[in-house]
Amino acid sequence: MRLVDYLDKGASLGPDAACLTTDGETLSYAEVQQLSFRIAAGLAATGVRPGGKVAILAANDPIAFSCVFGISRAGAVWCPINPRNEAAENREVLDQFDCEVLIYQAAFEPLVNRIRDELPKVHTFVCLDRDPGSGPTPHLQGRTVGWDAFFGGVSQPAPDLTGPDELALIVGTGGTTGRPKGVMLSNGNLETMTALTLMGYPFGDRPVYLALAPLTHAAGVLCFPVLASGGEIVIMRTPDVHGFLELIPRHRVTHTFLPPTVIYMVLAAPELDSTDLSSLRCFWYGAAPMSVSRLEEALLRIGPVMAQFFGQTEAPMMISILPPAEHFDASGNIARGRLASAGRPAPLVTTAIMAADGSLLPRGERGEIVVRGSLVMKGYYRNPEATAEASAYGWHHTGDIGYLDDENYLYIVDRAKDMIITGGFNVYSTEVEQALMAHTAVQDCAVIGLPDDKWGERVVAVVQLQPGASVEAAELIAFAKERIGSVKAPKDVLVWPDLPRSKVGKVLKPDIKARLAASTTP
Q: Which residues of 476-490 are buried (b: 16+ CB within 10 A; e: fewer)?
A: bbebbeeebeeebbb
Q: What is the pLDDT of residue 156?
A: 64
**Secondary structure of 269-288 in the HEC alphabet?**
CCCHHHCCCCCCCEEEECCC
Using CA of residue 476, residue 480, residue 481, residue 486, what is the dihedral sign? negative
* Integer Cα distance of 444 and 440 in angstroms: 11
Do 3-186 and 240-415 fold alike per CATH?
yes
Domain positions in the chain: 3-186, 240-415, 419-520
Q: What is the pLDDT of residue 149?
A: 87
pLDDT digits (tens, 9 = 90+) for 486-495: 888 999 999 9
Q: What is the pTM of this model?
A: 0.85
What is the spatial order of strands in the sheet that 410-415 belongs to?
A: 350-354, 367-372, 396-404, 410-415
- Mean residue pLDDT across the chain: 90
Domain 3-186: give its CATH architecture: 3-Layer(aba) Sandwich (3.40)
Does the domain spanning 419-520 belong to CATH 1.25.60.10? no
Those residues whose C-beta lies under 8 Å from the C-beta of residue 433, and which sit 6 or more positions away, are 289, 291, 445, 446, 447, 461
Those residues whose C-beta lies under 8 Å from the C-beta of residue 427, and which sit 6 or more positions away, are 419, 420, 421, 449, 459, 487, 488
Q: For residue 410, give the 3-state DSSP assignment.
A: strand
Torsion of CA 42, 43, 46, 49, to 10 degrees: -140
Q: Which CATH class is domain 240-415?
A: alpha beta
Can you list the residues of the chain whose pLDDT is less than 50?
A: 135-141, 175-177, 522
Tell me which amino acid residue 361 is. Answer: L
DSSP state of 401: E
Contact criterion met (CB below 8 Å) for 37 and 19: no
What is the phi/psi pair of residue 465, to 5°?
Answer: -85, 160
Q: What is the pLDDT of residue 429?
A: 87
Strand ranges in 196-254 using DSSP code E only, listed in sequence order? 208-211, 232-235
